[in-house]
Structure 1
Amino acid sequence: MSDAAPDSAERDPAVPKRRAKVRKRHTVGKVLLASVLVLAMATGLGTIWAYRHLSGNLNGLDVTGQLENRPDKFAVTGPQEPLNVLVMGSDSRDCAGCNIDNLTGGGQRSDTTILFHLSADRQRAYGISIPRDSMVDRPDCKATDGSTIPGADNVMWNEAFGLGGPACTIQQFEQLTGIRLDHFVVVNFEGFQGMVDAIGGVEVCIPEPIVDPAHGINIEAGTRKIKGKEALNYVRERYVVGNGSDIGRMKRQQAFIASMAHQVVTAGTLARPDHLLRFLDAATKSLTVDKGFDNLVDITKLGIQFKNIGLDNIQFITIPNIPDPADPNRLVWKEPQAKQVWDKIAHDEPLTKKLSEDVISAGNLPGSGSPSSSGGGKKNEADKQALQDAGLCT
C-alpha cells in the first residue's frame, strides 16, 4: 500500500511551501466559448442549441460534501497550476448497450481507474492506471445521505466504488496518494463506444485472433480500425489474450486510448468543425463529472491545453506493482517506487525512466514500428515481453 505523499515539512528546505489555490484567469474561457460559437455557426447549427445541447449531455455530480481531510496542492513552477483528473470507468450494465457480455447484477462497479496529470507548464501529460485488484487500506468515506461507510484494511481497490461511488474512490485515492484532485469523470461503456465511433474507429495491431466463445467474442488478427461493440470487446477481453491478466488488459486499454489520442490529433478531427462537434457530442454523453467541470467551456478548456504537448509526451503507465504475497491473484503497490511516483506527481515533477517502466505514448504506439523510447537492449526486451503479455504487437 502507498502512504500519503510527505508534507513540505519533511522535504528539502529548498522545495517551496504549500500555497493556497491561485485564482484562475477567465480569458481562456472566453476565447474557448467564442471558438465554440464559431464552430456552431460553421456547421449550420444554432449557436444557443449547440452550447446547450453539448453542455446538457453532461451529468454533473457534487461530491465535495462527502470528502474529508483533503490534501493540499503543492506550490510548483509553471505558468498555470498542474491539473489532476481522476477517470473512473463504470462497468454498469444498466445503460443502453452496456450489457455487452450478458453479465447479471445491477448497479455500478469500478472497471478502470486512471489518473490524468497535466503539468503546470503544459508540456507533459501522464495517464497512470491503478489495477482494480490492488489490495489497499480503504479509508472511511461518506455516503450521499451523510452516513459513514466504514473503511477496511487489505481490500481490493474497486471495492470503494461499489460501496460509495465516485466520492469513496476519490477519498481513497487522495488519502493513499497525497494528491489533490481537481476534477473527476465517470464514463460507461455507452460513452466509450460513442467516442470511438465518432472518429470512425481506432487503429489497433492485434497479433493473434481473439476468440472467446464463452463471451461471444471473435476478433480477427491484423492492423486495422475497430469500432462499435468490437472495440468494447477488445478493451474488455481478458481471459484469452496475452497472459490473461488484468494488468495485460490495462496495458491494452492504455494502448487503445493512446491510439485514440493519436488519431484525434493527426487525422484532423480538431480542425474539422463537423467532426469535432460529433466527437464532442459523443464524448459528453454518458459522462458523470464534478460540478466544476459540467459545461462545454470547462471540457474544451481541458482539451485545448493538450494542443502544445507533443504526442511523445502523452504517456501512459501502470502504478508499479507486484503480486500480493498473500494471494498471487491480487496485487500490491511496489514500494518505494509507487510512493515515489505519487510524490513526483504531487510536486509536478517529471517521472524518471526507472519509475515509468513499460510506458506507452501516443506518439509511439505498439506495432507502429517506431523505435522504443525506453533505452537499451535489456529494457527493450522487457518492454516487448510486457506488450506480448498484454496481447499487443511488439
Structure 2
Amino acid sequence: MDDDQSPSTERPAPRPGRRRRISPERRSRRTVWRVVLITQLCLALLTAGTVAVAYDRLDSGLDVQDIEDQLMDRPEKKEVEGPQEPLNILVLGTDDRGCEGCGIDGEAGGGGSDTTLLIHVSADRKEAYGVSLPRDALVTRPDCMAEDGSTIPGAELAMFNTAFAEGGAACTVQTLEQLTGVLIDHYVTVDFNGFVDMVDAVGGVEVCLPKEVADPKTKIYLDAGTQVLDGEDALKYVRERSVLSANSDIGRMKRQQAFIASMVNKVVSAGTLTRPDRVYSFLKAATGSLTLDAELDSLGSLADLALQFRQTGLSDIKFISVPFEAYEPDPNRLVWTDEADKLWTRIKRDKPLSSTLKEGSINAADPVGGTATPSASPSEAPDEPSTGATKEPQAPTEEEQAEALANGLCA
C-alpha cells in the first residue's frame, strides 16, 4: 500500500449463511405489534359490517311520501347571500290515537296534528329558530289536492290543524305556503307511537315543573322542580293540556317548545352522539315513527342534513310561537296578528328574529332554567334584529312568572 493511499472503510461482506441475531425482547415486541394490528383490522372489518347491516336495516324502515305533485301555486324562494340556501322544515306531530296512552287528554281522534313547528335554518347554518303554530288558530284554508288528484275544498275560519285531518301533510304544506308565502323545503311527520322509545334512547329528557302534579285521571305523577322524564312520562308531558298548564293549548305548545329544546340540548351536549348504542336505539325508534318527504328518503340524506347543523350553537337555537291573539267571537279560538306578517317576511329574507319576536323565546342552551328572553330595550326598534350586545341576566317579573306558571313552566 502506498503511503498516500487511505485504508478502505468499507465493511467486509458477511460470510455466506450468517444471519443477524434478534434479541428475544425485540422479537416479542414485533409479535405484540403484529397481533395488535391484526386485531385492529379484524375489529374494523367487524364494526364496518355491523354498521352496514344496522344501516340497511334502519334505512329500510323509513316511510317516505312524495307530495310534490299535490302542491299547487308554490311561492318562489327569495335569493339570499350565504354559502348555502336557507332551509324551512315543517315538523308535524300526528294526533293519532293508535298508540296506548296517546289520548290521555280525552281529545277526539281524527288523525289531525296538534303539534306543528316550522323550523328556519339560516343560509350560513349558524342560527335556527322554530315557530310553533297553534292548532286552534282560525285561518283561511285553501283548496288542496288529494292523493288521487281530487280537490279538497278550502274553508274560511277553519282551525289550522284541520288541514292535516282533511289532506295530510300535503294540505298542511299547501295551507302554510299560501298563508305565509314561505316555501317549505322539507317536511317530517312524527308519530307518537315511537316517541316513547326515542326519549328512552337518549336516556330521558330534563324538564322543570313549577309545582307537583298528581292526577289519577290522567295518571300523571310528577314532582316539582327539575327532573328527567322517561319516555312514558315525557309523552304525557307533551300531550296533556289541562292538568299541567292552565293555558290549555297555549301552555301545551310552550311545554312542547321547552321539551324539544331540552332534547336538542341533551343530544348535542350530553355525549349522546358518542354513544353508538344510544344513537342506534334513537335511530331505530325514529325510523319507525317518521314520515319524510322524497328528498329525505334515506339515513344518508338525514345524516347530510344533520351535519349542516354542526356550526349551529345551542344558544343560537330558539323556539317561539307565531304572534297570535284570542278570536273575539270565541275566546277558545285564536287568530294570527299583524306581527305574524313581519315574522314571515324575516323568514323569507333569511333574517334573524327581531328583539320583539324573541321575547319569551325558549333557548336550547338553557331550556329548563331560562325560558324567557329579556325584553328589548327602548332604544331598539321593535321590528329590527338585536344589536348582539350582551345583556345582564334579569330576574323574571311578576307578570313573566305568572305566565310561566300558567304554561306549566319554571320561570
Q: What TM-score range do you get, normalising by the shorter chain?
A: 0.7 to 0.9
User: Are 2:261 and 1:258 equivalent residues in the alignment?
Assistant: yes
SS in 2 for 1:308: coil
- Inter-CA distance 372–41: structure 2 relative to 1 (3 Å threshold): farther
User: Are 2:97 and 1:93 equivalent residues in the alignment?
Assistant: yes
| Mapped contact 2:360–2:374 kept (Cα < 8 A) | no
Question: How far apart, in 1, do the equivalents of 2:69 and 2:55 lie?
Answer: 29
TM-superposed CA distance for 1:294, in Å, is: 1.7
Structure 1 equivalent of residue 9 of structure 2: none
Alpha-carbon deviations, 1:324-380, whole Å to 9, x = none? 011111100011x10000110011111101122210010122336x99554566985
User: Are 2:309 and 1:306 equivalent residues in the alignment?
Assistant: yes
TM-score normalized by structure 1? Answer: 0.84
- Inter-CA distance 381–344: structure 2 relative to 1 (3 Å threshold): farther
Structure 1 equivalent of residue 77 of structure 2: 73
Structure 1 equivalent of residue 8 of structure 2: none
Structure 1 equivalent of residue 188 of structure 2: 185
Supply the AA of the counterpart residue of 2:230. K
- Inter-CA distance 380–293: structure 2 relative to 1 (3 Å threshold): farther
Match for residue 350 of structure 1 among 330, 349, 352: 352
Supply the AA of the counterpart residue of 1:237. E
Question: How far apart, in 2, do the equivalents of 1:343 and 1:294 lie?
Answer: 30
User: Are 2:291 and 1:274 equivalent residues in the alignment?
Assistant: no
Structure 2 equivalent of residue 142 of structure 1: 145
Question: How far apart, in 1, do the equivalents of 2:410 and 2:186 lie?
Answer: 34
Which blocks of at least 5 consecutive residues in structure 1 are unaligned? 1-38
TM-superposed CA distance for 1:273, in Å, is: 2.6
Question: How far apart, in 2, do the equivalents of 1:58 and 1:243 lie?
Answer: 37
- Inter-CA distance 386–223: structure 2 relative to 1 (3 Å threshold): same
Which blocks of at least 5 consecutive residues in structure 2 are unaligned? 1-42, 378-393
TM-superposed CA distance for 1:48, in Å, is: 3.0
Question: How far apart, in 2, do the equivalents of 1:267 and 1:41 lie?
Answer: 29
Question: How far apart, in 2, do the equivalents of 1:115 and 1:383 lie?
Answer: 25
User: Which range moves more in the overlay, 210-219 or 70-79?
Assistant: 210-219
Alpha-carbon deviations, 1:165-216, whole Å to 9, x = none? 1111110010001011111011011222221110010011112122333323
Q: RMSD across aligned C-alpha pairs, in angstroms?
A: 2.4
User: Are 2:122 and 1:115 equivalent residues in the alignment?
Assistant: no
Larger radius of gyration: 2
| Mapped contact 1:42–1:273 kept (Cα < 8 A) | no
Structure 2 equivalent of residue 392 of structure 1: 409
SS in 2 for 1:332: strand
Question: How far apart, in 1, do the equivalents of 2:242 and 2:228 lie?
Answer: 22
- Inter-CA distance 46–355: structure 2 relative to 1 (3 Å threshold): same
Question: How far apart, in 2, do the equivalents of 1:206 and 1:43 lie?
Answer: 42
Question: How far apart, in 2, do the equivalents of 1:179 and 1:301 lie?
Answer: 23
Q: Percent identity?
A: 50
Question: How far apart, in 2, do the equivalents of 1:40 and 1:262 lie?
Answer: 31
Question: How far apart, in 2, do the equivalents of 1:106 and 1:242 lie?
Answer: 21
- Inter-CA distance 84–380: structure 2 relative to 1 (3 Å threshold): farther
Structure 2 equivalent of residue 62 of structure 1: 66
Structure 1 equivalent of residue 249 of structure 2: 246
- Inter-CA distance 45–269: structure 2 relative to 1 (3 Å threshold): farther
User: 1:352-391 to 2 correspondence within 5 Å?
Assistant: 352-367=354-369, 372-374=373-375, 382-391=399-408
